[in-house]
Amino acid sequence: MRAAYRCGMGNGKFAFILALLISVGVAAWPSVTQKSVVQGVTVAVTPGTLDEDSSVWDFAVAYDAGMRQLKGDEPLDNFVLMGDGRRMKPLAWEGDRDGARHRAGVLKFIAIKPRPKELELRLQRPAEKQPRVFRFVFGDWSA
């Protein structure tokens, strides 16, 4: 007897959605995706627009909980952006709602002026003791 097919998002579809989210944003420095895996839940963060002239900064965020449901993960409550001693709560979350195994969207913040040399995006999930920290360092670029 054949096993029942379980509908779900595989790693390939998850990677495709993350790549799509990244491609929507404008190129920024630094633009490397950072991943964190804690208690079987992967969170990937990719900076989008972080230009000095921008009034709003954004980050593509993707969660993958494997076979578990993501409950209680509200990006507007769980993330904070830190730079030069300032803490900013998110302005908006444009993406999937709570309750699925996979979740992706864009997290927006009011830009910190002047732009700090380093930013920290902190995620404090309800079931985790320590926050996840994603660091973005801006270098001095010259042609």
Could you tell me which of 129, 58, 114, 121 has the C-alpha nearest to residue 91?
58
List the alpha helices (DSSP H) in 42-120: 75-78
- Short-list 19, 38, 36, 52, CA closest to 119: 52
pLDDT, tens digit (0-9, with 9 covering 90-100), for 82-118:
999 999 999 999 998 776 788 899 999 999 999 999 9
Q: What is the CATH number of the domain that holds 36?
A: 2.60.40
pLDDT tens-digit map of 33-66: 999 999 999 999 999 989 889 999 999 999 998 8
Q: Assess if residue 92 is contained within a domain.
A: yes
Q: What is the pTM of this model?
A: 0.75
> Whole-angstrom Cα distance, residue 110 to residue 141?
24
Q: Are strands 132-137 and 118-123 parallel, antiparallel or unpaired?
A: antiparallel
Structural domain range at position 109: 11-137
Query: Has residue 142 been placed in a domain?
Result: no
Total domains in the chain come to 1
